[in-house]
């Protein structure tokens, strides 16, 4: 098992309870092959970390950008907490070297691995919160995630496909797109979703992803192409 000491220094964290840090990296698939492992998988930590992450980001945006409206702040927050951004940060910090996965999952790369990395990032925040409270989470998120906000604003990369399609649909068709999950399949730790996007009665496109949000984003990308609004 990997040594976490140097990794903690790289993260700028110091855990009193090392088991919490380790648990943040335990994927469900690892316990399927190692049922006697002494710790639980990381999904409950992920659940907690997701809420802490959103609070830290929201508080920062609210305080630092008092003249921006709710819609703009929501777009910026979405760009910071989406799975693509969390995966990118996790990869740069070296999370891949510490993941505890099944042998089969270790070989999986691409979107499946990205989803695991993003979830592990949230689990680490949950573990940090339980171990040391809000302040270390706040410092960690500001250092590794919020530092990217100026670049996001400058490049306008916060305008994801879903936001873009909604703006175009409201302007050109006078309607807000509706998204619907029409299919979900696969094991719990690697579930996939199919989502359709419609304008009133017209089903415009569909998309697939490892989360509902990812599937909605893919559906919006397809819809922009179908409507030639991109």
Structural domains in the chain, sorted by start: 5-155 (1.10.1520.10), 161-227 (3.30.160.20)
Structure confidence at residue 2 as a pLDDT band (50, 70, 90): low
Catalytic residues: 50, 122
Place of tokens 């002494």: 38
pLDDT at 219: 95
pLDDT at 176: 92
Rounded to two decimals, the pTM is 0.75
Structure confidence at residue 22 as a pLDDT band (50, 70, 90): very high
Say if residue 195's pLDDT is above 90: yes
Angle (CA) 114 120 124, round 5°:
150
């Amino acid at each position: 098992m990997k040594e976490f000491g140097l990794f903690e220094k790289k993260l700028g964290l110091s855990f009193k309870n090392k088991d919490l840090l380790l648990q943040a990296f335990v994927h469900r698939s690892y316990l399927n092959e190692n049922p006697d492992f002494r710790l639980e998988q990381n999904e409950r930590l992920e659940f907690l970390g997701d809420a802490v992450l959103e609070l830290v980001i929201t508080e920062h945006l609210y305080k630092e950008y008092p003249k921006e409206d709710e819609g703009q702040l929501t777009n910026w927050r979405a760009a910071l907490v989406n799975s693509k951004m969390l995966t990118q940060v996790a990869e740069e910090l070296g999370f891949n070297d510490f993941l505890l996965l099944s042998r089969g999952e270790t070989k999986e790369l691409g979107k499946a691995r990205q989803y695991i990395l993003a979830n592990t990032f949230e689990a680490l925040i949950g573990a940090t919160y339980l171990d040391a409270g809000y302040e270390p989470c706040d410092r960690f998120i500001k250092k590794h995630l919020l530092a990217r906000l100026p670049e996001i604003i400058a490049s306008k990369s916060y305008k994801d496909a879903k936001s873009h399609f909604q703006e175009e649909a409201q302007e050109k068709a006078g309607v807000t797109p509706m998204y619907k999950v029409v299919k979900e399949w696969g094991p719990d730790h690697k579930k996939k979703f199919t989502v359709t996007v419609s304008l009133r009665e017209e089903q415009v496109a569909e998309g697939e992803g490892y989360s509902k949000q990812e599937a909605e984003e893919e559906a919006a990308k397809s819809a922009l192409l179908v409507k030639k609004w991109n």
